[in-house]
Structure 1
Amino acid sequence: MDQFIPVRRRKDKVVIVMGATGTGKSRLSIDLATRFEAEIVNSDKMQVYKGLNIVTNKVTEEECRGITHHLLGIVDPDVDFAAVDFVRRASTAVDSITRKGKLPIIAGGSNSYIKALVNDDMEFQSKYECCFLWVDVSMPVLKKFVSKRVEQMVDANLIDEAREFFDPEGNYTRGIKRAIGVLELDEFFRNESILDYEMRARLPEDAIDKIKANTCKLACNQLQNIFRLRNQLEWRMYQFYFSRAQNEGKMRKNGEEI
């Protein structure tokens, strides 16, 4: 009779690194990939697009440290890349990684993409077992870090990069133009040729303040979404709680320190 009993297929492991913007997801995923034989699948909905490397804070070739990244800068800027597109492309990438005997690490801040893949796609559920790593940073510390990071991005030529996607018609609802840092600079790009010296200096500063504020707002929304996913879907998450200011960290599982 044993021959008629179905054998349960052993599921392959997938690591999913979650967290709000600016918490260090990319760095953790690369650190893990250098320790374990792994490749990384990007799950940030703006970083999937080609262009705006500074605005979207894509990891540089040097920061990748030789680790293969999938779904990073692959989509044309004007194309809408929905959750269903991510599921299809991410599933293909994860399959190819596991076939090579490597560990897939999915990292990014777009929780809707993660939910669509892990919770809504039955084929993915049947093939993979997920380990969720949540990188968390106290909000006051994170806000300071986000502000500093935006300033560094400005120094790295954020404004000129965003200018390439200025839309005279003011349509920033499609593709990569939705990225924080593009719409906020619209007023400056629209009027810079007619502004006096004082206004040409003030408008970019106002835009930069808006970028900082909107990035912090995004971080708060992402954090709320992570709480919602953990509580509603009962995902078992290993929470890494760090203070960037003190360079200290604690590890929690489902909110309890371990």
Structure 2
Amino acid sequence: MNIPRVMSRNVTQPQINSPSSGRKLNPIKLPRQKEKVVVVMGATGTGKSRLSIDLATVFHAQIINSDKMQVYEGLDIVTNKITKEDRRGVPHHLLGTESPYSEFTASHFRDAALLAIESITSCGQLPIIVGGSNSYIEALIDDYDYKFRSRYDFCCLSVDVSMPVLDQYVAKRVDQMLENGMVDELRPLFNPKGDYSRGIRKAIGVPEFDQYFRKESFIMDEGIKQRLVEEAVNEMKKNTYKLARKQLGKIHRLHNVKRWKIQRLNATTVFCKHGEEAEEAWKKKVAEPSARMVARFLFDFPSANVGAGLRLCSPSALRSAMATATCDGYVLTAGYPRLSIF
């Protein structure tokens, strides 16, 4: 979805002068307005990465990965890392940056994410945190020293897909991984004495293929080899189904127990369609509603005015209507047509 970008602009507080005497008073120290952060959550396979890119191209943002397997270097197919092409030029942080054999904990993520957020906001851009590892996100937002909440306001979006529909999609995605060369990607990580409780070896796919790689060199019958691959793939699918339900359960806990305000986007319809119909459903059910939610969060628009402030228009109409428009200290820049905010 192509939409005009939004860039934040810092607004400084003026000094206060006494109108009666002309005497300059000390500046009033008003509370510092918190920077804003967007969080995109959801179970594996629901389209979180796609939505984060859509939002980043609207709101002039950079993305911080919060998937605990995608943070490691390697296994791009198995961990389903977003490709450079699909990133559409949007900068990503903590994506494939860590050694695959190290242990990148929730505490490590919290510290690294805080640095990334500070770097992004310092250049007037919006941080978007995206990933399925809710333990990482919770460690960041509800950190023990209140560092995040004291400095940032956050908006949580959750992309939801009904479980039966998501299960079907996940199964197809694992089959596609196999066609894309997953076995060859996994092979270098095989170690008969490998520890599946650390680093990237925890990724779904690595332990599931352990038995196949142990027996591969001793089996000459291709039919038996194929059966072992199928068993590993089926185990991957089952474990991915379990992961999706576990992720959804954590989101429900954050909402119901910790009272996080999490705004739900139901993408089930998208997964039931194909081609242009799926693209249209994504735009109507996910991309545009999420843009409205984020605009309301960033600009403090009253709910009643948000729908009126977002309108579809052609690229030529957008460029002629505005080269640059301002709104409460934010600048909206043209160049990404279809959806404009006024």
The TM-score, its normalising length taken from structure 2, stands at 0.71
Trace 1:222-241 onto structure 2 (pairs within 5 A).
222-241=247-266
Matched residues, number: 253
User: Which consecutive unaligned segments of at least 5 residues does structure 1 have?
Assistant: none
In 2: Cα distance, 1:170 partner to 1:75 partner:
18
Query: 1:170·1:186 contact (CA, 8 Å) conserved in 2?
Result: no
Moved over 4 A (4+): 2-6, 250-253
Task: Give the equivalent residue in structure 1 for 2:222.
Answer: 197
In 2: Cα distance, 1:4 partner to 1:233 partner:
39
Cα offsets for 1:31-59 (capped at 9, x unmatched): 10011100000000000000111111001
In 2: Cα distance, 1:178 partner to 1:242 partner:
28
Match of 2:65 among 35, 42, 55: 42
Trace 1:1-258 onto structure 2 (pairs within 5 A).
7-120=30-143, 121-195=145-219, 196-243=221-268, 244-246=271-273, 247=278, 248=281, 249=285
The two structures, once aligned, show a CA RMSD in angstroms of: 1.9
In 2: Cα distance, 1:38 partner to 1:189 partner:
42
In 1: Cα distance, 2:104 partner to 2:67 partner:
11
Of 167-176 and 27-36, deviating more is 167-176
In 2: Cα distance, 1:219 partner to 1:6 partner:
47
Q: CA shift at 1:170, angstroms?
A: 4.3
Query: 1:40·1:106 contact (CA, 8 Å) conserved in 2?
Result: yes
AA partner of residue 104 (structure 1): P
In 2: Cα distance, 1:104 partner to 1:159 partner:
35
Look at both structures and tell me which one has the larger radius of gyration over its CA atoms: 2
User: Which consecutive unaligned segments of at least 5 residues does structure 2 have?
Assistant: 1-24, 294-306, 308-342
Q: CA shift at 1:198, angstroms?
A: 2.2
Query: 1:50·1:73 contact (CA, 8 Å) conserved in 2?
Result: yes
In 2: Cα distance, 1:12 partner to 1:5 partner:
20
SS in 2 for 1:133: strand
AA partner of residue 197 (structure 2): T
% identical equivalent positions: 53
AA partner of residue 237 (structure 1): I
Q: CA shift at 1:3, angstroms?
A: 6.8
Q: CA shift at 1:6, angstroms?
A: 5.8
In 2: Cα distance, 1:124 partner to 1:226 partner:
19
AA partner of residue 172 (structure 1): Y
